[in-house]
Chains A and B, each alone.
Chain A
Amino acid sequence: MKRFIAGLLLFCLPLFALAQDPAPAGDAASGDVANGETIFKQNCASCHNTSAEKSVGPGLKGVQQRHEFPWLVKWIHNSQAMIAAGDPAAVALYKQYNQAQMTSFPNLSETDIKDILAYVEEANAAPAAVAGAPAAAGAPAAQSGAPSDLFVLVLVALLVVMLLVLGVLLVVVTLLSKAVSGDAAAGQTGTPFMERLKGTLTKTANNPAIRSATIWVFVLLVTKALIDGAFNVGVHQGYAPKQPIAYSHKLHAGEYKIDCNYCHTGANRSRSAHIPSANICMNCHGVIKKESPEIQKIYAAIENNQPIEWVRVHNLPDFAYFNHAQHVNVGGLECQQCHGEIQNMEVVEQRSSLTMGWCIDCHRKTDVNTKGNAYYDKLVQVHNEGSKENLKVADIGGLECSKCHY
């Protein structure tokens, strides 16, 4: 028994540890590096790694040793022109990478490019931090302490319940063994043990109090099950349908760290996050892994002019209005907050329940992202005059019907 409890505790410990994992480190980043990271993720990450590993284009580790800075600027601004002009390094690079042209970024200033390079250097200087990043990002809950506290509470409650159950079991076992030994002592009466047990049971069963109690417990349990079941109608948490193309978020978002916004172009600007159109896939797969049977399906779709019918994973009812831009752009939420650890998913799965209760819960708990947004200035001022709490989504009408139903 003790061994069991010890084992249980051992099992739970890492969970505690995980749950109490503090917010990810990374404050060391200077302004330049941060800017570089943003630009890199938006523009470069789809084709380049910060390490030496090749992707569509070369890995950027040590790029400053390989090329002079002015050359790099020229190349980034217009590589095609350089190739056409016959710059030997440019032509060599062009040939080395299957004559794939690098997109020109004439809008990037020299400072921007310096920032990117600073970020690349930083990323290579601290590989450990980078390696740690997915794990940190994997705990979206870490952005505020509340969810992990709840998790701990639940675990503790579970433990207590288990201990109680254990205790009851022990009592039952003791009582039974006592009864058996007691019977053995009184064996002279001649009544077999089983028969007496049967008699006791019959008596118990005929006891109206016990009988009605049993019925009530049964009825209550069934009712509870029914209600729970009813509340789960239409809830598809865990829904992970097979998609027409075995696209892996784990590979693209996890390993290659392509920014979500690169493909889901709408998340920042519109109601829908947008499933990428085939031409976005072709930005990279025009060159990479063309021969893979899965990627050939995209080619086939384009050739046959037959759009790819992805199976929708996250379905909201028609009468519920949801807007990605409100949450991602204005609210500044991470995708993982609702979609789970998408970067670890081979097949996308619906992680959150997407019920109204789930929405409302979050609106009650979440602080409004008012920083730097003049829309909220007056509201915050008025709110702070009357309250010490932070301005929650619920305070600005986040629980009202017409926010989502019209």
Chain B
Amino acid sequence: MEHTNKRYWKGLEELRNDKDFVRNANSEFAPAPPAEKEYESLVDGMGTHRRDFLKVLGFGMAAVSLAACETPVRYAVPYLNKPEGEFPTIANWYASTYAEGGDYASVLVKTREGRPIKLEPNNLSSISSGVSARIHGSLLSLYDNEKLKGPAKGSDTKVSWDQVDKEIMSQLAKVAAGGTPIRLISSTIISPSTKAVVADFVAKYPATSHIQYDANSASALLKANGGKVPAYDFSKAKTIVSIDADFLGTWIAPIAFAKQYAETRKLSSAKGGKKDMSRHYQFESQLSLTGSNADYRAAVKPSQIGLLVAALYNKVAGKMGASSISAAAVNVPHLDQAAADLIASKGQALVVCGVNDINVQNLVRSLNSMLGSNGNTISGAAYNLRQGDDVAMNGFIDELKGGRVGAVMFLDANPVYDHPRGAEIAAALPKVPLSISFADRADETASLTKYICPASHYLESWGDAEPRSGYYSLLQPTISLIFNTRQAQSSLLKWAGKNEDYHEYVKSYWRSNIYTQASGGGFDQFWMKALHDGVFEPKSGSTSSTSDATPASQPLATSTSVAPLASSSDDAAAISKTYKANGSGLELVLYEKVGMGTGNLANNPWIQEFPDPVTKACWDNYACLSKATASELGVEQGDLVKLDYKGKALELPVVVQPGQAAGTVAVAIGYGREKAGKSADGVGVNVYPWATFNNGYLSFRPGEVTLTKSGGTKDIAQTQTHDTVMGRESVLQDAVLGDYQKNVMAGRFIPEVETSEGPKEATDITLWDGHEYKNHSWGMVIDLNSCTGCGACVIGCQSENNVAVVGRQEVINRREMHWIRIDRYYSSKSAESIDDLEEAAENPEVTFQPLMCQHCNNAPCETVCPVLATTHSSEGLNQMTYNRCVGTRYCANNCPFKVRRFNWFKYFDSDDFDYNFNNDLGKMVINPEVTVRSRGVIEKCSMCVQRIQEGKLNAKKARRRPVDGEIDTACAQTCPTNAITFGDMNDPESRISKVLEVEREGRAFHMLEEINVRPQISYLTKIRNKAAEAPGMADA
């Protein structure tokens, strides 16, 4: 950093050097906040009162003497009849699938003693890669004890399934006889056998129709592309232009896209290694995860987006010799350059757009056609991950309001909460003769239905999924039913008069529909293999071989097979009507957060406490404003403001967000749940009612709002400047591609120190003897170029290592416990004047840097521990021994990376921390191989030492050395882009050794080399594919 004229900052407060920021940066632990008094606990961590002290002392004495009298008797309870293949203390993995609300991942479920404790990626799947933060969180939802324990009729939860079935079937028969319509409302269903179940149900009750809708809709995209999401393949793209599509974070299939995207961003410093990468342009209103990764990014107002697409179309069409369309000109930086790059990389260009506007999507489709994307960057099987139809859903709501619906069922759907017309549904629902919900709890919609037939969690269920046409995967139960629940499919089958055994149903569906695509072998064999593998991909061979430029052999449902567009000029006319080049008002943007998503998993402490990759805030939604707009409106970070959209007013705190388009305010969906449970209810506000419809399509860009200061402030649980690195500079190293191609060490900073013998490299002088690693030397390499900052590792680590959730107030108190954090740095030209500061905050570059314990060889923490609780191992690990720690916190004070976490409270078994760690059901998620830390000790990343030990033991049992890759840390394993490589640096054949061999004289650097702590963890410099001029400026 020191070598450039760039300035790196984590938040505006750091850029401005606020008083609070300086104060907090100088103390490792924030001073006790006044809120501390809320904890009326005898055992609070701060300033225990004298009386409390005496009480505790007295109790302690009594307890000790009592304990001395009699040892508590512990029992060992073996199985009565041990199931075959189940060995206590040995984990089993089962392949299954997460497929809810259009999110998809093929996962391996790690179970111990019959209970799932971790989700891991299934590498046999060619679609999903890694496990995202939210999907990791879905595991905790299995152990949510606020779910319904059995079927419910109104508020009566004592009813039995038999009774509910009898009543529902008789009422269905009555409705069917009356001829009134029956409606099944669901979010996107990608399970072919569930669709078959629905078809069976429809056969029995022909008045039924099935309507799908998505809370964050892609309906226009579907409509423009023949009903399916085009098969985008980012891995083949040289130029990517994304217009408001957060394809790395929330759009359609983020983990699949992230994997493809990262392939184009990986570099190798070896001679003749890959030194070329894709160039990514992003045009968007709020700074999304994808925008943070872009090489060039421009902030635009939602009212300009349509014109921007039209302008891009014209620029490309002009060069391609196609006719241009008439649309008002719009002044957006980088647009010319984007068009030029797109044309230059024709056939390797891709334009994606997340705006739910049919006219815009039509233009984008034409753009891709012109650029020759079809068959190249759009090739293979189409995605089924979004199927919602906004028009049909609106039709249903009109029907419902008109009292024309005889029966309605909600499957995986909560429209009262997550549809803009939810209030209308809520008003009309009680009048429907028969209403049923399959929700797992009495949520906003289910609580208004007559019957709730709770469906089992997906980890308790059978099922299948088809995320892309011809790519199948299976779900299998990994735990016996926790509550008296029943899969929705079984319920539907039962009511349709069929055998309710859905397991058999899926099997026979596969026998007659999917087995036919297999090449030989008996069905049983095929089924066992599919169940074992989790996926069956008869078509994957053909798609992966289409890397040559020939179009895919089968047209599928990409735009090539869709009827030619009516006329781009019609679209242009519509666009000109909807959009304007210079909107003056404050425009509202609703967006989806990477962690929270649409809010269906909101009652989940892991997800709630997951800091948003960009704002770094958790436990809340808020109004994001740009610095300029905030100043203009006279508001500051934390001020409560009232946002009024057409009479629907909500109060929110302000977050001043660099990169936010001026004149816009962005608010996240997924918050403000009312009936989800204790972790979600009342957290943030529900902004779905603000969404509107544009030509019948759901629009998250509703238009102008008025913002008024309502007085008062609200603290935001934002982690961005927690754990600063005290102004030490060589933390982050980056360069632009042009420089890197000339010199592989571009951007590297090699600190030197003055000695009596002249200047020397900082790593050449040391007081330490160093360590000798005879056996293993565990380490990691983190590629800053592949890391998209998605945060999957954060929750993966939390799940693996029993990291506690501390709650909103404690995050504000700067006491979050995550062992790995993603530091998000903004960078901009070094500020000379106050105007520069303003400009810097306008549209900075963003870099993500995952940071966990660096396992220093010259570890500053080890030398200061008075009780030797933190020591160095002979395999390169910095060990933390909880049972020895007395909580002096010297180590945390002395840690230059600020990765040590102190247990201020007893986070388990405490009702002050009601986050699933304090009840028997919630505790079932705990990994039995990792100690649950108690109050008063320091904890930190152990480099998953439990996995290292297990892997070594497995190797020893097999009388061999461990094979590279068989031992992996939770973070490296879950990374969708393989940004983290873990391995034994003593093994010359390991991936990490090979990477370091190439990159040691290239991109690999250690953090803070000037203090020579010699970490076991190396980073690879971030390379941006942009011109080497002034970085990060909008006018570059």
Hey, which bits of chain A sit against chain B, CB under 8 A? 233-234, 236, 239, 241, 265-266, 269-272, 274-280, 301-302, 305-312, 315, 317-321, 323, 325-326, 329-330, 372-375, 378-379, 382-383, 396-397, 400-403, 405-406
Contact of B78 among A234, A275, A306, A325 (CB under 8 A): A275
CB-nearest residue of chain A relative to B870? Answer: A401
Verify A270–B90 contact, CB threshold 8 A.
yes
* Residues of A with C-beta under 8 A to B87: 265-266, 269-270, 274
Question: 6 A–B contact pairs at CB < 8 A?
Answer: A236-B71, A276-B78, A321-B946, A329-B957, A374-B959, A396-B774
- Residue of B with least CB distance to A234: B71
- Contact present for A375 and B955 (CB under 8 Å): yes
A323 near B953 with CB under 8 A, answer yes
Complex CA distance for A267 and B162, rounded to whole angstroms: 47
Residues A272 and B775 in contact in the complex (CB < 8 Å), given A236-B71, A279-B82, A373-B956: no
* A326-B953 contact in complex given A275-B78, A308-B77, A406-B946, C-beta closer than 8 Å: yes
Q: Which of A269, A330, A405 contacts B881 (CB 8 A)?
A: A405
On whether the beta carbons of B877 and A272 are closer than 8 Å, the reply is no
Cross-chain contact of A326 among B78, B877, B883, B956 (Cβ < 8 A): B956
Measured in the bound complex, the distance between the Cα atoms of B942 and A403 in whole Å is: 12
The complex places the Cα of A311 from the Cα of B75 at a distance, in Å, of 4
Q: Which of B60-80 contact A (CB under 8 A)?
A: 68, 71, 73-80
Q: Name the distance in Å between B805's Cβ and chain A's nearest Cβ.
A: 20
CB distance from B337 to the nearest CB of A (A): 52
| Chain A to chain B: the 4 pairs with minimum beta-carbon distance, closest first | A277-B82, A277-B79, A402-B879, A271-B89
Contact A312 B79 (CB under 8 A): no
B515 to chain A, nearest CB (A): 32
Across the interface, B73 reaches (CB within 8 A) one of A270, A311, A321, A325, namely A311
Check A278 against B80 for contact (C-beta < 8 Å): yes
Interface centre among B774, B880, B932, B955 (most CB of A within 10 A): B774
The CA of A397 and the CA of B79, in the complex, are separated in Å by 36
Q: Do residues A310 and B77 form an inter-chain contact, with CB atoms below 8 A?
A: yes
Q: Known contacts being A275-B76, A302-B80, A305-B80, is A373 close to B959, with CB within 8 Å?
A: yes
By beta carbon, the residue of chain A nearest B883 is A319
- Cβ contact of A397, chosen from B875, B883, B946, B953, cutoff 8 A: B875
Residue of B nearest to A399 (CB): B874
Q: Are A330 and B80 in contact (CB under 8 A)?
A: no
A278 to B79, CA, bound (A): 7
Contact B945 A270 (CB under 8 A): no
Q: What size tier do the contact residues of chain B reach?
A: 35 or more
Give how many A-B residue pairs fall within 8 Å (CB-CB): 148
> Do residues B78 and A372 form an inter-chain contact, with CB atoms below 8 A?
no
* Residues of chain B in range 953-1003 having any CB-CB distance to chain A below 8 Å: 953, 955-957, 959-962
Contact indicator B953/A325 (Cβ below 8 Å): yes
Within 8 A of A (CB), among B598-655: none
Contact assessment for A396 and B874 in the assembled complex, using a CB-CB cutoff below 8 Å: yes
Q: Taking A379-B774, A406-B931 as given, write out 18 further A-B residue pairs in contact, using a Cβ cutoff of 8 Å, ordered by the A residue number.
A: A239-B71, A265-B87, A274-B87, A274-B88, A275-B76, A275-B78, A277-B78, A278-B78, A278-B79, A308-B77, A308-B80, A309-B76, A310-B77, A320-B883, A325-B953, A402-B945, A405-B931, A406-B879
B713 at the interface (CB under 8 A from A): no
Instruction: Let me know if B80 and A401 touch, CB within 8 A.
Output: no
Smallest beta-carbon distance A144→chain B, Å: 22
A270 close to B88 (CB less than 8 A): yes
CB of B77 within 8 A of CB of A309, answer yes
Give bound CA distance, A302 to B76, whole Å: 17
Q: Cβ of A397 and Cβ of B874 under 8 Å apart?
A: yes
Closest approach, in angstroms, between the C-beta of A126 and any C-beta of chain B?
33
Q: A312, B76: Cβ atoms under 8 Å?
A: yes
- A272-B77 in contact (CB<8A): no
A277 pairs with B80, CB closer than 8 A: yes
Q: Is the CB of A319 within 8 A of B931?
A: yes
Identify which of residues 938-954 in chain B touch chain A, using a CB-to-CB cut-off of 8 Å: 942, 945-946, 949, 952-953
Q: How far is the CA of A269 from the CA of B91 in the complex (A)?
A: 12
Closest B residue to A313 by CB, please name it: B76
Cβ distance B859 to chain A, nearest Cβ, rounded Å: 14
In Å, the complex CA distance between A308 and B82 comes to 13
Is the CB of B274 closer than 8 A to any CB of chain A? no
Hey, which chain A residues are within 8 Å of B427, CB to CB? Answer: none
Which A residues touch B945, using CB under 8 A? Answer: 402, 406
Q: Which residues of A contact B89 (CB under 8 A)?
A: 266, 270-272
Nearest-neighbour CB distance to chain A for B50, whole angstroms, equals 27
Tell me the nearest residue of chain A to B960, going by C-beta.
A374
The reply to whether A400 and B77 contact each other, CB–CB distance below 8 Å, is: no
A374 to B931, CA, bound (A): 31
Which residues on B sit within 8 Å (CB–CB) of A330? 953, 956-957
- B81 part of interface (Cβ distance < 8 Å): yes
Chain B residues with CB below 8 A from A315, complex form:
74
Kindly identify which residue among A234, A320, A397 contacts B775, using a CB–CB cutoff of 8 Å: A397
Task: Choose among A266, A305, A372 the residue that contacts B959 (Cβ–Cβ < 8 A).
Answer: A372
Chain A contacts of B884 at CB under 8 A? 401, 405
Contact call A374/B78, Cβ cutoff below 8 A: no
B871 within 8 A of A: yes
The answer for the CA separation of A302 and B884 in the assembled complex, in Å, is: 44
The reply to whether the CB of B554 lies closer than 8 angstroms to some CB of chain A is: no
Other-chain residue from A236, A373, A383, A403 in contact with B949 (beta carbon distance below 8 A): A403
Instruction: Assess whether A400 is in contact with B871, with CB atoms less than 8 Å apart.
Output: yes
CA distance in complex: A402, B939 (Å): 13
Report B-chain residues with C-beta under 8 Å of the C-beta of A383: 774
* A306–B81 CA distance with the chains assembled, in angstroms: 11
- Asked if B544 CB lies within 8 Å of chain A CBs, one says no
Give the contacting residue for A375; candidates B930, B946, B956; CB below 8 A: B956
CB nearest to B986 among chain A residues: A378
Per the bound structure, the CA–CA distance linking A239 and B75 in Å amounts to 14
Least Cβ–Cβ distance between A22 and chain B, in angstroms: 30
**Nearest residue, chain A, Cβ from B801:** A406
CB contacts (< 8 Å) of B774 on chain A: these are 379, 382-383, 396
Q: B509 at interface (Cβ–Cβ under 8 A)?
A: no
B931 surroundings in chain A (CB, below 8 A): 318-319, 405-406
Closest-CB distance, B775 to chain A (whole angstroms)? 6
A391 to B883, CA, bound (A): 29
Residues of A within 8 A of B942 (CB): 402, 406
Which A residue sits closest to B932, measured CB to CB? A318
Residues of B within 8 Å of A401, CB to CB, are 871, 873, 879-881, 884
The contact string, 1 if C-beta is below 8 Å from chain A, for chain B 854-877, is 000000000000000001011101
Distance in angstroms from A283 CB to nearest chain B CB is 12
* C-alpha gap A24/B775 in the complex (Å): 35
B68 and A375 form a contact (CB under 8 A): no
Partner of A310, one of B75, B90, B775, B873: B75
Q: Report if B882 contacts A (CB, 8 A).
A: yes
Inside 8 A of B883's CB, which chain A residues have their CB?
A: 317, 319-320, 405
Would you call A307 and B78 a contact (CB within 8 A)?
yes
Interface string of B907-946 (1 = CB under 8 A from A): 0000000000000000000000111100000000010011
Mask: chain B, 108-148; 1 = CB below 8 Å from A; 0 = not: 00000000000000000000000000000000000000000
Q: Inside 8 A of B955's CB, which chain A residues have their CB? A: 375
Q: Which A residues are CB-close (under 8 A) to B952?
A: 375
Contact with A along B77-115 (1 / 0, CB 8 A): 111111000011110000000000000000000000000
What separation, in Å, do the CA atoms of A321 and B932 have in the docked complex? 13
Q: Return chain B residues, CB-CB under 8 Å to A274.
A: 78, 87-88
Q: Which residues of A lie under 8 Å from residue B81 when comparing CB positions?
A: 277-279, 302
CA distance A323 to B76 in the complex (A): 16
Assembly CA distance A390 to B655 (angstroms): 64
Contact partners of A374 in chain B: CB under 8 A: 959-961
Residues on B with beta carbons closer than 8 Å to the beta carbon of A372: 959
Chain A residues whose C-beta falls within 8 Å of the C-beta of B76 in the assembled complex:
275, 309-312
Once bound together, how far apart are the Cα atoms of A307 and B78, in whole Å?
7
In the complex, which residue of chain A has the Cβ closest to the Cβ of B882?
Answer: A319
Q: Are B75 and A266 in contact (CB under 8 A)?
A: no
Check if A402 sits within 8 Å of B959, measured CB to CB.
Answer: no
B946 lies within 8 A of A241 (CB): no
